[in-house]
A and B are shown apart, each in its own frame.
Chain A
Amino acid sequence: MRALNLRTKTVSLGGHRPLKVQLARQGWVFSAPAFFIIAGITIFPILFSVFMSLSHISLTYSGFKFQWAGMSNYSLVWSNSLFQYALGFTIIYTLVTVTVELILGMGVALVLHKLTSGRGFLLAVLLLPWALITAISAEMWSFIYNGVYGVLNAIVMGLGLAGHPVIWLGTPMLAIASTMVADIWKTTPFVAIILFAGLQMISSEVFEAASIDGAGAWQAFWRITLPLLKPTLLVALLFRTLQAFGVFDLPFVLTGGGPGHATESLAILSYQVLFEDLSFGPGAAIATSTTLIVMAVAFVFLRVFRVQVGDSESST
């Protein structure tokens, strides 16, 4: 953000070239440490992981032995039915959870926005699921879903909706749905709070003008709130999609990827292949494929929404 502002300033100063160069140099100096740290902890390992995905790797007493493998790991992975299923599962999981979270989150944000009292308390309560460590909330959900003692079965049977206990995590369809519900419970607050912040930034004058012009609440929402909220929505959408696509902890704790392979996401599969089967090449190929897919999705979102996130303030 700051870098952007600096740049627009220098542009407006036009002819003063030395100042511009000086600022640019300062900018580089100040950002260099951060750049090297990021390079060290993300860029280098990512490149190395790409290299691994292109190698046959064997373990020996004197360390790893690499042998060029070309694309063979990728063809092995992409033609494997477990990978294909995990890819399909991850895509559907992402689509469903992110859509539901955006709709619910929007509703919650609108309510929060209209509230005049108790907002602070509600915000704190809302943040609770999001603030809980996923491994812990997943354990809690596994108690809720427990087929023998689970509270959900007590409720369902108490209401007479089922005559016998439902095994929520025992069959594929139910396990997938149950995992999605737990995810939606946990991350809807995150979406709600981002959208709430976005709503706070929209000037109330716009709505006053609209109501003077005779716009109803529904019209105002579609014509004013939603378009002005677009940059915020994109942020929420991007974050959630990236997270959902890499989902690991929730199904790992809740179902271990089961029953069968029903809730096995790409991240769980790559963990199993890398660290349990010690197939480093194919495991890296899964991880790299996942990264590329996510990058492509993010790129598409940015293009479709045609929003320059950094300039959002100036457009309002």
Chain B
Amino acid sequence: MRIRNAMVLVSGSLLLTATASGFSPGGLVRSAAVQKKVVTIVWYASPITDTGVRKTMIQAFEKAHPKIRIKLNTAPTNTDTMRSTLTTAISGGATSPDVFMGDVIWPAQFGHNDLALPLSKYLPKSFWTRFAPGLVKGASYRGAVYGAPFFMDAGFLYYRKDLLAKAHLPVPRTWPQLVKESKLLQKRKLVKFGYVWQGADYEGLTCDWMEVMSDAGGSVFNKNYSKVTINSPQSLRALKFLRSLITSHVSPAAETTFQEPQAMNVFDAGNAAFLRNWDYAWSNSNDPKDSKVVGKVGVAPLPTFPGQKQPGYSTIGGWDVYVNPHSKYLAQDLTFIKWITGGQAQTILATKFSEIPTNYSVQKNPAVQRLNPVLKTVHNVHLISRPSGSPVYPSVSQAMYSNLNSALAGTVSPAQALKAAERQIHAAVSKKGL
């Protein structure tokens, strides 16, 4: 039966395919004519923080634009499942959803496969200046911008203020210092584990890896993506360091199975001194429902290796808003995008839901910063993007996290893992892979 299910999965997309062949994006032209009437557009978005962000946004938007109604369609929280759903629908020519939330690593794949509208063709240059530096470049592929940055995210170091105070330790600024402090706290039985992070076999490991590898001076590709550079002495140093966290028991042995929630659980239960996580970990660790460390948590930029520029690198995460190329209501879609990246929406996002706004003037606003402590840190972090400029990024990332995970588990040596990753990335970009 399961094989049948897999087949149905395949065939579902096939049926959609069949209907797609006759479809053309002619719907775009019609949008001007229907502008007078009330139009409903469909917004496909995941629950974000589960605290009603989307509904609040929609209410405020409909108040400002009474001629446009937004129908919310809830997407799965797993980014890969969400992507599969979208690619199946849009490649099949579906006109709904009109706008959708999408991961910051999607522009190349979606742009390359015509799954998102090149927004830079429809929105003036002046529109794009509202975003914080680097974000528009991250949403671009081959000179066109495909997504409007909605909210951003980055890796942070969360630490236990109370433990560091008890042991008279500073917030670590280098990786060896973090290890030393962890061991000290562990030895004094103040805490069970030193540092928890994301080491499981999935996209999150790629994020954590990008940070440590960049700290060591390594890279995945050279500047113009023409050469795979991951198998370097710098990368080896980074991978050996990550593996040593596990062998020295600074990180638990189960680290190789940790995604965000597992690492978060250990930290929230009071069993780890340091945590690497995204921006939501702030509100999560301060929620008395889930956390035993309320009020004891501090946030700082991630450490780096000694002798490198301070602070360490933080991987850029977050979400953009994209437009379905088959949408019939382009004008309304663009109105929604302009509003949701504008001052009112972004202030709601930052102050009521503690997300990091993409709108630069909101991000810098002291009144907003007072209500969102992570925002103060975000200006000091050193951002690094994943190599998502390649349309085969999913295969590239998989080549990294699956091999790195094996090295972390100790089933292959760090050198072997990097060699295998290099080979598989090369196969992926030269289209010799699957």
Contact = CB atoms under 8 A, between A and B. Distances in A.
Contacts of A58: 113
Interface string A234-258: 0000010011011111000001111
B256 A167 contact: yes
Nearest to A286: B434
A44 B13 CA distance: 12
A169 B254 CA distance: 9
A53 to B, nearest CB: 10
A247 B93 CA distance: 30
B62 interface: no
Interface stretch (A212-220, A225-233, A277-285): A277-285
A237 to B, nearest CB: 15
Given A270-B10, A287-B7, A172 B411 contact: yes
Contact of B14 (A49, A147, A270, A286): A49
Interface in B378-434: 392, 394-395, 398, 402-403, 405-406, 409-411, 433-434
Contact of B256 (A80, A170, A248, A283): A170
Interface string A157-168: 000000011010
A34 to B, nearest CB: 16
Given A52-B14, A77-B434, A278-B113, A170 B91 contact: no
A274 interface: yes
A45 B402 contact: no
A270 B202 contact: no
B10 A274 contact: yes
B123 interface: no
A11 B3 CA distance: 38
B283 interface: no
Contact of A259 (B18, B24, B411): B411
Interface in A270-297: 270-280, 282-284, 286-287, 290-291, 294
A60 B405 CA distance: 35
A30 interface: no
A279 B23 CA distance: 21
B434 A83 contact: yes
Nearest to A270: B6
A272 B395 CA distance: 9
Contact of A62 (B25, B87, B201, B410): B25
A60 B114 CA distance: 5
Contacts of A52: 14, 17
Nearest to B201: A258
Nearest to B18: A48
Interface in A78-121: 80, 82-83
A146 interface: yes
Contacts of B9: 271
A112 B115 CA distance: 56
Nearest to B193: A148
Contacts of A257: 201
B1 interface: yes
A46 interface: yes
B367 interface: no
Interface in A51-71: 52, 58-64
Contacts of A294: 3
B114 A61 contact: yes
B20 A267 contact: no
A45 B8 contact: yes
Nearest to A65: B21
A211 interface: no
Interface in A160-203: 164-165, 167, 169-172
Interface residues of B, number: 62
Contact of B3 (A259, A267, A283): A267
Interface residues of A, number: 67
A27 interface: no
Contacts of A249: 2
A60 to B, nearest CB: 5
A282 B1 CA distance: 23
A261 interface: yes
Contacts of B87: 275, 278
Given A147-B253, A167-B257, A275-B84, A59 B113 contact: yes
A7 to B, nearest CB: 28
Contacts of B262: 146, 148
Contacts of A83: 434
A80 B3 CA distance: 21
A260 interface: yes
Given A45-B10, A270-B10, A246 B411 contact: no
Contacts of B3: 242-243, 245-246, 267, 290-291, 294
Contact of A147 (B13, B254, B405, B406): B254
A267 B2 contact: yes
B266 interface: yes
A72 B1 CA distance: 29
Contact of B253 (A82, A167, A239): A167
A229 B256 CA distance: 46
Contacts of B256: 167, 170, 259
A207 to B, nearest CB: 34
Contact of A276 (B4, B25, B80, B271): B80
A172 B42 CA distance: 43
B108 to A, nearest CB: 12
Given A48-B14, A260-B411, A277-B392, A59 B91 contact: yes
18 contacts: A41-B11, A45-B15, A59-B113, A60-B114, A83-B434, A165-B254, A167-B253, A167-B254, A170-B409, A242-B1, A246-B3, A248-B2, A259-B411, A267-B3, A267-B6, A283-B434, A287-B6, A294-B3
Interface of A: 41-42, 44-46, 48-49, 52, 58-64, 76-77, 80, 82-83, 146-149, 164-165, 167, 169-172, 239, 242-243, 245-249, 255-261, 267, 269-280, 282-284, 286-287, 290-291, 294
Given A59-B113, A242-B3, 11 more contacts: A46-B7, A49-B10, A61-B25, A62-B25, A80-B433, A147-B257, A170-B256, A171-B410, A260-B411, A275-B83, A277-B394
- 9 smallest CB-CB distances across A and B, nearest first, come from A246-B3, A45-B11, A147-B254, A258-B201, A63-B20, A275-B84, A59-B113, A246-B2, A260-B406
